[in-house]
Structure 1
């Protein structure tokens, strides 16, 4: 490689001229600085969305002394921190009624009276909700064989599964020969009860 080659000159520790890339753009706004403004810094409270433009050295110096709450009293700082929890937006107590102005209008538009409250949450906070409707009993088609089975057990066709099971256990204890001193005269009745229960069970009634 020739010693006067331009390629050799670029990798030298001390080139013959400044080959650093020149940054195009605005100048640093720090007083007395003419370097390129490569960084932004917020102007501070009551100037949200506005920024200073500094070079790297001066933006670092500015950030070290930056204080958003400068000039605010302790009470004002505490109030700001409380409002920051809700994003500085107005809030109202859940379930509150009455009031005036915007809060009252908000309460009227978001009333809980048209809402269901199965867990009683609104009632605990002073609100009201529409009562929960009674669940409708499932209606099923009852065939003649199933109707006879209900009659054998002595229960209504609208009886629940728990009522049918309880009635079945009672009748088994009543008509079982062991409960009648070994008397076999109730075996036919016991057989009818067992068959009726098994039929209702296979049909999904219990």
Structure 2
């Protein structure tokens, strides 16, 4: 490093301040009978957050050895506090919590989905919750989609499902179309839909 470099000429050094710096005012140690300065802060305890004792070094060490934030609390209260600390002591709710009548609180009675701002209606979308059909069978979303792929109603019988499956396979199979593979994707979706309905016990 060259001390005569022109870069050093550009460095500005703040002139030394010869004025005596005022020492931070300290209170005396608040330990009973101690006359030393209170150079260290120690928390006052639970329900007194933000409040501190001023102790000297020796007494802050003695205070820290005996300090217990949970003193006077039962084991159940300590456990509850530690559990709430995981979420920053903010209120939480269980996932899928239901309100009165077996529906989520604030849910629309028709579709079982909460939409306070009406976005689904605005977008033209309709959502249907799992619910029993007139024949007593519960039709879930996956089965609804499978039936839609096959062009069947929710009340379709196992015989109708099998007949429709055979019909669609014959229609979209490349062998039935002279080797044309353009409808292979449609054939795959029909086979997947039929397999999902079969696993769900619809046929």
Structure of greater Rg: 1
Task: Tell me the TM-score normalised to structure 1 length.
Answer: 0.40
TM-score by length of 2: 0.40
